[in-house]
A and B are shown apart, each in its own frame.
Chain A
Amino acid sequence: MPGTEEPAILMEGVDKYYGAFQALKSVNFRVASGERIVLCGPSGSGKSTLVRCINRLETVQRGRIVVDGTELTAGRKAVDAVRRDVGMVFQQFNLFPHMTVLQNCMLAPIKVRGARREEARETAMRLLARVQIQEQANKYPAQLSGGQQQRVAIARALCMSPRIMLFDEPTSALDPEMVKEVLDTMIGLAAESVTMVCVTHEMGFARAVANRVVFMADGEIVEEAPPDEFFSAPKHRRTQAFLGQLLKH
């Protein structure tokens, strides 16, 4: 399947610097529509940076990024178009604390998509039900557990009907007993045709849903393979070292 139609995400020769420090080194990355990618690698390897370049939370110094057919340039039109198509879930949830769960989910559809209130509310309630948190719709984020907050964050992103979902370590800030409820929500999402790029070290999740696991080190993509192959027969020395580390925990 990959490679035939237009890719959902295409990065070609992308260089990204923070000042003098090079965080991405000539990265080539291609995600087919509907594909589910798990991105892993040691801390500081550039995983967050790569993901954040896709919806232009970070700008790049060199290379091409094309998202759903839109070439990502500085132009506001391109950025808007891409962000409308791409949802993002953060490690720290980043819910708006002064708004209820429902308001969190309704703001962008109303203000960005121009949805009517009723319509936005219906969509929000439907998606909150889907992440099984509709009873909490009128609560504030601080009244929810971490796992519940992260599910709200997923619902909030889904309310914009994105075709691509980015996750940056969505379970890393959670207490262990809440990891499963969020992963289950994401596995449910994977059953649909949403393209997913997920930074995570949850290898069970990678085995269950990923079409491909991508390993990064020092700002480069070192190795990529389907999960079976990736875990059973990692080729690169750094991948082996990384997986060895991971197993020890």
Chain B
Amino acid sequence: MITTLGPAQFLLLAQGLAWTLALSAIGFALGGLGGLVIALARSSGLKWLEGLAAFFIEVFRGTPLLLQLFIVYYGVGLLDLSVSPWMAVSIALMLHASAFLGEIWRGSIEAIPAGQTEAALALGIHYATRMRYIILPQALKISVPATIGFLVQLVKGTSLAAIIGFTELSRTGTLLSNITYRPLLIFGIVGLAYFAVCWPLSRLGRAMERRLTPAART
């Protein structure tokens, strides 16, 4: 039976889009936290901790997200825990985003001139205060373009969650194209939906880059 493309199908696509956005938000939120931890560990000055963080970064940047999703999904399953796809995807996206954001933010932290740390030390300011009030505000500011760039990758990357049965935007598209037999139309719409999310993000990223560049020069 061939279904036509009506309001019900658009509702499904909208739901798929909502899941995609939710997955991206989860990945970014959890990955943001994890990434902060990784970036701080990576620039902590403690050799073993830096090594550990570097290893984590290399592993999760050097393997496909798809593989990470599989391993988390089946791996956690092996531990005899029942994992919902939600859990598996959240964990995998978190690990993935932590590695990428951690590396981006490490770079920004290290780009802050040593004089800032020295001035803080000379004033007797301890690590936590130094990071919170002096280093991170400057580092996060210069990392905004790269961070948004990664966010765009992440939105598109969530489509891989379809592999373990997650009905986000891409998978909704696949299902609909199977019942409507109009794959081009459906995937055209799906593509437009991704574009509608990612393009403004990219624009925002570029606008911020332009705004930040002159400041970096002075």
**Nearest CB of chain B from residue A81's CB, rounded to whole Å:** 9
> Does A88 touch B at the CB level, under 8 Å?
yes
The answer to whether B123 and A112 touch across the interface, beta carbons within 8 angstroms, is: yes
* B122 on the A face (CB < 8 A): yes
B186 to chain A, nearest CB (A): 48
Known: A92-B115, A96-B134, A111-B133. A87 touches B122 (CB 8 A): yes
Bin the interface of chain A by size.
20 to 34
Tell whether, in the assembled complex, residue B138 and residue A108 are in contact, meaning their CB atoms are under 8 Å apart.
no
Which residues does chain A contribute within 8 Å of B118, judged by CB atoms? 57, 90, 94
Let me know if B122 and A86 touch, CB within 8 A: yes
Are A94 and B115 in contact (CB-based, < 8 A)? yes
Known contacts: A107-B133, A142-B218. The answer to whether A94 contacts B124 by CB under 8 A is no
A90 to B118, CA, bound (A): 9
Pair A57/B138 contact, Cβ less than 8 Å = no
**Residues in B neighbouring A111, C-beta threshold 8 A:** 125, 129, 133
Looking at the assembled complex, report how far the CB atom of B217 sits from the nearest CB atom of chain A, in whole angstroms. Answer: 11
The number of inter-chain residue pairs (CB within 8 angstroms) is 58
Assembly CA distance A84 to B126 (angstroms): 12
- Closest Cβ neighbor of A112 among chain B residues: B124
Enumerate chain B residues within 8 angstroms of A201, measured Cβ to Cβ: none
A residues in contact with B141, CB < 8 Å: 98
Residue of A nearest to B129 (CB): A111
Task: Tell whether A207 is near chain B: CB-to-CB under 8 Å.
Answer: no
* Chain A 100-121: CB-based contact to B (< 8 A → 1; otherwise 0): 0000000110011000000000
Q: State whether the Cβ of B137 lies closer than 8 Å to any Cβ in chain A.
A: yes
CA–CA, A98 to B141, complex, Å? Answer: 10
On whether A108 and B121 interact (CB within 8 A), knowing A90-B115, A98-B137, the answer reads no
Nearest A residue (CB) for B133? A107
B119/A94 in contact, CB under 8 A:
yes
Interface SS of chain A: mixed
**A122 at the B interface (CB under 8 A):** no
A107 to B135, CA, bound (A): 13
B138 touches A83 (CB 8 A): no
Interface residues on B, range: 10 to 19
Within 8 A of B (CB), among A37-63: 55, 57
CB distance from B166 to the nearest CB of A (A): 40
A97 proximal to B (CB < 8 A):
yes
Complex Cα distance, B179 from A241, in Å, reads: 92
Interfacial chain A residues near B113, Cβ < 8 Å: 92, 94
List of A residues within 8 angstroms of B124 by Cβ: 80, 83-84, 108, 112, 160
- Complex CA distance for A213 and B115, rounded to whole angstroms: 27
Which one of B124, B133, B134, B141 has the greatest number of beta carbons of chain A within 10 Å?
B124
B116 within 8 A of A: yes
Within the complex, what minimum Cβ distance (angstroms) separates A86 from chain B? 7
Of listed A98, A111, A112, A153, residue having the most chain B CB within 10 A: A111
**Among B116, B125, B126, B133, contact of A94 (Cβ-Cβ < 8 Å):** B116
A154 to chain B, nearest CB (A): 12
The reply on A157 being an interface residue by CB < 8 A is yes
Contact A83 B129 (CB under 8 A): no
Contacts of A157 in B (CB 8 A): 122-123
State in angstroms the CA–CA spacing of A157 and B215 once bound together.
Answer: 26
Given contacts A94-B115, A142-B218, contact A107 B125 (CB under 8 A): yes
Some 29 contacts from A to B, beta carbons below 8 A apart, are A55-B121, A55-B122, A57-B118, A57-B121, A83-B124, A84-B124, A90-B119, A92-B115, A94-B115, A94-B116, A94-B118, A95-B119, A96-B116, A96-B134, A98-B137, A98-B141, A107-B123, A107-B129, A107-B133, A107-B134, A111-B129, A111-B133, A112-B125, A112-B126, A112-B129, A142-B215, A153-B119, A156-B123, A157-B123
Q: Which 6 pairs, one residue from A and one from B, show the smallest C-beta to C-beta distance?
A: A94-B119, A108-B123, A88-B122, A83-B124, A94-B115, A112-B124
